[in-house]
Amino acid sequence: MRFVDEYRDPAAARRAVEEIGIVSGGEHRKFMEVCGGHTHTIYKHGIENVLPENVELVHGPGCPVCVIPMGRVDDAINLAEQPGVIFTSFGDMMRVPGSTSNLLEAKARGADVRMVYSPLDALRIAQANPDRQVVFFAIGFETTAPSTAITLLKAKEAGVTNFSVFCNHVTIVPPIKAILESPDLRLDGFIGPGHVSTVIGNRPYRFLPAQYGKPLVTAGFEPLDILQAILMLVRQLRDGRCEVENQYTRAVRDEGNVRALQILGQVFELRPHFEWRGLGFISHSGLKLSEAFADWDAELRFQVPGVRVADPKACQCGEVLKGVIKPWECKVFGTACTPETPIGTCMVSSEGACAAYYNYGRFTREAAASARIPVRSA
Amino acid sequence: MSEAAPEPEEPEGELPKSQEEVVLERIERFRRNRPRLRDDFINSAHGAGGKASAALIDAVFVKAFANEALAPLTDGAVLTLPSGERLAFSTDSSVVNPIRFPGGSIGHLAVHGTVNDVAMMGAVPAWVSAAFVLEDGFPVAELRGIVADMKEAAANAGVQVVTGDTKVVNKGSADGLYICTAGVGLIPADVHLDARSVRPGDRVLVSGTIGDHGVAVMLARGELGIEADIQSDTAPLGGLVAALLAAAPGTRWLRDPTRGGVATVCNELARDADLAIILDEVSLPVRPAVNGACEILGIDPLYVANEGKLVAVVPPEQAEAAVVALRGHPLGGDAAVIGEVRDDPPGMVVINTTFGGNRVVDMLAGDPLPRIC
């Protein structure tokens, strides 16, 4: 496939891995990939097992599904079960556990829950069902927020009044700061979330080298993108540099997408604080609809319980999201908590560190190496 | 690496296990338990062919019907007649939406689904039944068209539709029409297919490009706004099986990778044979358009349904002949060796990625859901 295969070329990968080994000089380096999309790529292509052993990847908080706290899922289920409501959601959220059930179970109980690929689909459902209330479950970082914003602009323009948004959009910089303030983690640098940067650019990360002395390289989502970003990080460390660099030049401009940022400013405003799964309340980390779009805000249109539900005791999603522990170090990983019966959010989305490790990485370096003996064709 | 002496209870010559290894072994033991049904209500995952389906089948159907012929839970039952001849017997329901899609219709699927299940038992499909559940108001002209497709499919498969049933339900109680079929066929005396006969070193083959059917139907629903020229591969596999068995009489095992795709059937094989399946991503035949659609939707073609492909395990010395025979058949032009059976890690499927790494390929959990970013 053009524009994909080039970034999965095994010969180029071998050269990159070799160079990472040489440049890092055997020194132990620990990098966090902030974005769940990167976590997914790393496990799906088996990147961890081909990296030199001294380079360690730690999985970060950038999985939109993983950071939604239980109370918000309960609110979503409550909305879905209100009479006359069609509740629309991305597929990933359907199996995320609330305190007693999930959206898939609510659907089986009779709620009209529909999976959509885009908020525009939800708006179309609203236009086709003028006698019903259609609510869209908006989640995600700055990557998905612009599409929600555009949808709201269109809803306003077309005067669609039976549509509303249950907004759970969050921003990427506050949790990165929260992680850096966490005393139990030592990191040498960050692999920056490329898709978020297509919107916000690279400038918002400048505080990392300036205030915390950590380099960041914004990276694309193919395996070679990630290897190149790691190489750029170990080069910075070798050369004693500490900068924000851009590996994903084919998609990311330093200033980001100015038009998208404008629309975000028009439609959303920062909440004073927002609760994150496992990380607790983080100030100025969540978005809500601005005054001008208050008529489309599901939290204002409907009564929702809005109750804070504590994370299950057994679940260590918070430590996993902060990269303090590896998925397999969680006490319930793989036994009580599996992709079929997830306790924590990290086990639900394919971008969650636990689900990615469970589904793709559940074997040792040695087993991986022995499996790599080529398959004989005949 | 630490030079510390092994723990006293460790067998001599083996390094102490890392904490990660201990956890992995615990998970593996846990994973080998058959999945348990915890749901109070049916949801779409119970019909997706993955772990939830297995849990439902175990907890409800097997528990109630338990008998020797049902026990292997393969695509069909093998029944021994008083004469000593063996019969393969299978059943299938077709509920596809939309009922017409590029490359076929629910009529083709209803016949092919059943005859292919019979063929995967090594049998020659001969007779088929057809039961129709029709929604009040369904156009007769459309029913005629679907039945004409079934006639065509049956003729191509060399089977006769010999019995049937018709029911009409209230408007809204069904989505147009559903078709349930059953099929039987005789298994030639010299054919013995069984996952337990699979040995390390055996090769895993697929008869052609994967994921065509599932992607064609998904796109035909028109909800995704993706247009691509992708046709369902729906086809009867009896002829292909005959060609394969003639060229590779040592063939150990056959499955048609329908719901849950190649990944799911390989996992079932790894579990039933207690061996490892190592797949090679570079060798997987996938049409560029299917690959592209899967990339966009965030799904893996390994888990996408096929309706005209088979996965076979053959002894290494017959692998080449098997590929040549499959490629010589009109339905097997893209046949390829895609993997190898090994000892380790038992019960697991691992794929070596194009990029040069590898990952576990597990059973599907839940319904295949697209990633959002």
Task: List, for residues B331-367, the tens digit of each pLDDT value.
Answer: 999 999 999 999 988 999 999 998 889 999 988 776 6
Give the rounded distance of the alpha carbon of A117 from its chain centre: 16
Which chain B residues are closer than 8 Å to A370 by Cβ? 344
Question: Which residue from A8, A14, A364 is facing B354, i.e. has the nearest CB?
Answer: A8
| Contact residues, chain B, for A144 at CB < 8 Å | 372-373
Q: Is A328 on the interface with B (CB under 8 A)?
A: yes
User: CB-based contact (8 Å) between A359 and chain B?
Assistant: yes
User: Which candidate from B292, B352, B365 shows the least CB-CB separation from A371?
Assistant: B352
Cβ pair B27:A333 closer than 8 A = yes
Of A115, A195, A370, the CB nearest to B344: A370
Residue B6 has pLDDT above 90, yes or no: no
Residue A336 contacts by C-beta under 8 Å, 6 or more apart in sequence? Answer: A314, A343
Flag whether B311 is in a domain: yes
Domain assignment present for B370? no
Contact B371 A349 (CB under 8 A): yes
The whole-number pLDDT of residue B355 equals: 86
Q: Do B348 and B206 fall into the same domain? A: yes
Judge residue A114's burial from the number of C-beta atoms within 10 Å of its C-beta, 0-12 exposed, 13-18 middle, 19 or more buried. Answer: middle
User: B154 CB near a chain A CB, below 8 Å?
Assistant: no
Sort out which chain A residues have CB atoms less than 8 A from B345's CB and list them: 363, 367, 371
Q: Which domain holds residue B176?
A: 72-187
Contacts of A50 in chain B (CB under 8 A): 356-357
Partner residue facing B362 (CB), from A92, A359, A371: A359
Q: Is the domain of B110 the same as that of B235?
A: no
State the DSSP code for B238.
H
Where along chain A do its domains lie?
A: 5-62+185-193+202-246, 70-172+256-301, 317-359
pLDDT of residue B4: 46
pTM of the model: 0.88
For residue B10, what pLDDT band results from cuts at 50, 70 and 90?
A: very low
Q: What is the 3-state secondary structure (H, E, C) of B300-318?
A: CHHHCCCCCCCEEEECHHH
Residue B228 has pLDDT above 90, yes or no: no
Nearest-CB residue to B373 (from A37, A50, A104): A37
CATH number, residue B175: 3.30.1330.10
Closest Cα to residue B165, out of B127, B128, B132? B132
If asked whether residues B205 and B300 sit together in one domain, one would say yes
pLDDT band of residue B373 (cuts 50, 70, 90) is very low
Instruction: Pick the residue from chain A with its C-alpha nearest to B277.
Output: A371
Q: Are residues B61 and B101 in the same domain?
A: no
Minimal C-alpha gap between A92 and chain B (Å): 6
Which CATH architecture fits A70-172+256-301?
Answer: 3-Layer(aba) Sandwich (3.40)
- Give the type of residue at B277: I
N-term to C-term CA, chain B: 39
Give the distance from residue B353's alpha carbon to the nearest chain A alpha carbon, in angstroms. 6
Query: CATH homologous superfamily of domain A5-62+185-193+202-246?
Result: HypD, alpha/beta domain 1 (3.40.50.11750)
Give yes or no: residues B210 and B77 share one domain: no
Say if residue B26 is in the same domain as residue B131: no
Q: How far is B235 from chain A (nearest CA, A)?
A: 26
Which of B288, B360, B372 is nearest residue A360 as measured by Cβ atoms? B360
Q: What is the pLDDT of residues B262-289, one digit of tens each?
A: 999 999 999 999 999 999 999 999 999 9
Taking CA–CA distances from B51, the nearest residue in chain A reads: A340
Q: Which of chain A's residues have a Cβ under 8 Å away from the Cβ of B45?
A: 104
Identify which has the larger pLDDT, A363 or B10.
A363
pLDDT of residue B371: 46
Q: Does residue B367 belong to any structural domain of this protein?
A: no
Question: Does pLDDT of B246 surpass 90?
Answer: yes
Q: Do domains A5-62+185-193+202-246 and A70-172+256-301 have the same CATH topology?
A: yes
pLDDT at B40 (0 to 100): 85
Chain B residue numbers with beta carbons less than 8 Å from the beta carbon of A10 are: 354-356
Q: Which residues pair with B131 in a beta bridge?
A: B165, B180
Rounded to whole angstroms, the Cα distance separating B346 from B274 reads 5
Residue B366 resides in a domain: no
- Of B187, B214, B241, which one is at a domain's C-terminal end? B187
Beta carbons of B269 and B277 less than 8 angstroms apart? yes
Give pLDDT, residue A312: 82
Q: Is residue B124 part of a domain?
A: yes
- pLDDT tens digits along B96-110: 988 999 999 999 999
Strand partners, A189: A31
Q: Are residues B224 and B180 in the same domain?
A: no
Q: Where are the beta strands (DSSP E) in chain A?
A: 29-35, 55-62, 85-89, 112-115, 133-140, 163-169, 189-193, 216-219, 244-246, 268-270, 273-276, 280-283, 287-289
Question: Do B91 and B61 fall into the same domain?
Answer: no
Confidence grade of residue B86 (pLDDT, cut at 50, 70, 90): very high
User: Are residues B163 and B57 part of one domain?
Assistant: no
Cβ atoms A21, A163 nearer than 8 A:
no
Are residues B239 and B148 located together in one domain of the fold? no
DSSP secondary structure of B121-161: TT-EEEEEEEEEEEETT--HHHHHHHHHHHHHHHHHHT-EE
Query: Which residues on A lie below 8 Å from B276 (Cβ)?
Result: 371
- Mean pLDDT of residues grouped by 10 in chain A (378 residues)? 80 93 94 93 91 93 89 96 96 89 91 94 97 97 96 97 97 91 86 95 96 96 95 97 96 95 97 91 95 97 90 84 87 87 83 88 83 80
Instruction: Check if B135 contacts A (Cβ < 8 Å).
Output: no
Q: Among all residues of chain B, which has the CA nearest to that of A96?
A: B366
Of all residues in chain B, the one with the smallest CA distance to A364 is B21
As for how many domains chain B has, the answer is 3
pLDDT at B280: 96
- Inter-chain CB pairs, A–B, below 8 Å: 182
* Residue B11 maps to a domain: no
The answer to whether position B2 is within a domain reads no
Q: Tell me whether strands B276-280 and B349-352 are parallel, antiparallel or unpaired.
A: parallel
| A359 chain-B contacts, CB cut-off 8 A | 360, 362, 365
B339 in the same domain as B319: yes
- b/e map of A9-46 (b: 16 or more CB within 10 Å)? bbebbeebbebbbebbeeeebebbbbbbbbbbbbbbbb
**For residue A335, which residues of chain B lie inside 8 Å, CB to CB?**
26-27, 30
Looking at the structure, do residues B46 and B97 belong to the same domain, yes or no?
A: no
